[in-house]
Amino acid sequence: MDNKWDIIAEIPDLTGKVAIVTGAKYIDYSRWKGTIADHKSSSPQGIGYHIAHQLAIKGAKVYVGARNREKSQNAIDEMLQSTPSLVHERLVPLAMDLNDFQQVQSTARGILEREERLDILVNNATRFLGPYLFTTELLPLLKMTARQAPGVRIVNVSSRVHLALPTGVQFSSLDDFNQDFGSEDDHQSNRLRYGLSKLAMVLFSKEIQRRANEEGIPMVATSMHPGGVRTDISVRGMIDSRIS
């Protein structure tokens, strides 16, 4: 890991671009008992929060996605507090429960009605079906933007856990998507189900890119394993505490 990426220098100016980041909530550590509150200043929060924050710092209009309006607005308030130079209007709360497919569809269609372009879509901290529906609903706008302003990005945060799946896994039927891997609730079965969803995300990203290439659309769709990141979830896992 000799190479380091300088986010200040290497993220280009994004003025005029529109981005959506799901899973960008901010954690209020005051709700935690014990010593976890002591980690607030040092914890980097979540991946999605910082992606949204950095995109906004670079000038993009950013939809800050969270499960409800309060969590989305809390994230925006924290960004504005930590970076007073941010333009408030560039940060748009986006309340959407990705497990509610009707809400996902209506939210995406609302964005299509409001926005004339969409340059960046980051599906973060999610499983598969909700992001699949959200992305496919937004694809027409993403493609239109790419034709007018090459550089559109779809980034699906995945995980290398998909490599732990047994050989022969397929997605040819509904039963394939609903495999219990031996149990409805134990660590190993849950891990494999998580890996199954992440494999679906990897394959979905590859198929978006294949079709874009076939249509001659200058856009990039990719999945990525974020690596071992010291996020709030990692901190919670290391500290024996409970939400009050």
Collapsing DSSP to helix, strand or coil, 243 comes out as strand
Is 194 noted as a catalytic residue in this protein?
yes
Q: How far is CA 212 from CA 108, 139, 231, 236, in A?
A: 20, 10, 33, 40
Collapsing DSSP to helix, strand or coil, 96 comes out as coil
The counts of H helices and E strands in the chain are 8, 6
8 Å CB contact between 47 and 157: yes
Collapsing DSSP to helix, strand or coil, 229 comes out as coil
Collapsing DSSP to helix, strand or coil, 65 comes out as strand
User: What is the Cα–Cα distance from 181 to 237, expressed in whole angstroms?
Assistant: 24
Q: Based on the number of CB atoms within 10 Å of its own CB, is 240 exposed (0-12), middle (13-18) or buried (19 or more)? A: exposed
Element (H, E) at 222: strand 219-224
Tokens of 115: 């926005």
Collapsing DSSP to helix, strand or coil, 9 comes out as helix
Catalytic residue set? 194
